[in-house]
Amino acid sequence: TYNRHIVPGDGDCFFSAVNCCMRFLDPDWQHDNVSLRNLSLIQLEQDVYKNHQFYFDYLPNSTSDANHDPATIDSLWNIIKAKYQNPGQYADNDLMMATVRALNLDVQLHGGSNTLLNIEGRTTQNTIHLLYCGLQIDNNRGIHYDALIIM
């Protein structure tokens, strides 16, 4: 069973929920939402420059044979960074995956009483659990994450 820790619905709920879970796993955990977002952005930047072909959908009028020159990749990163760099900006799958890789952990997303998705990092010893409230749960409209702590 899990104890649900409700976090603010301020656009940083994914990072708030991850931070809440990590504080239970590691009492010395030092990240706040801003530093965790920045850590995730550093990882995402590495991912974009290493595997830029997977991110070309961010470019306007992108095609599968998009230009791979350094200026295009720099533009690509600037578009992605602008989407995610400010507090309160929604974390989607790309930023969530970067967070998982940056922290070397697994995330299980739960919806109600069901496990919706396992997001797996590299080799990990830590799994955190988040409640995805994209469904109508407890009068919470829209996409939101809360922390679930194993009892």
Q: What is the pLDDT of residue 28?
A: 95
CA atoms within 13 A on the CB side of 61: 2
CA distance 55 to 96: 14
CA distance 141 to 15: 19
pLDDT per position as a tens digit, 80-105: 999 999 998 888 889 999 999 999 88
What mean pLDDT, rounded, does the chain reach?
85
Sign of the alpha-carbon dihedral angle for 141, 147, 149, 150: positive
The one-letter amino acid at 39: L
Q: What is the pLDDT of residue 137?
A: 47
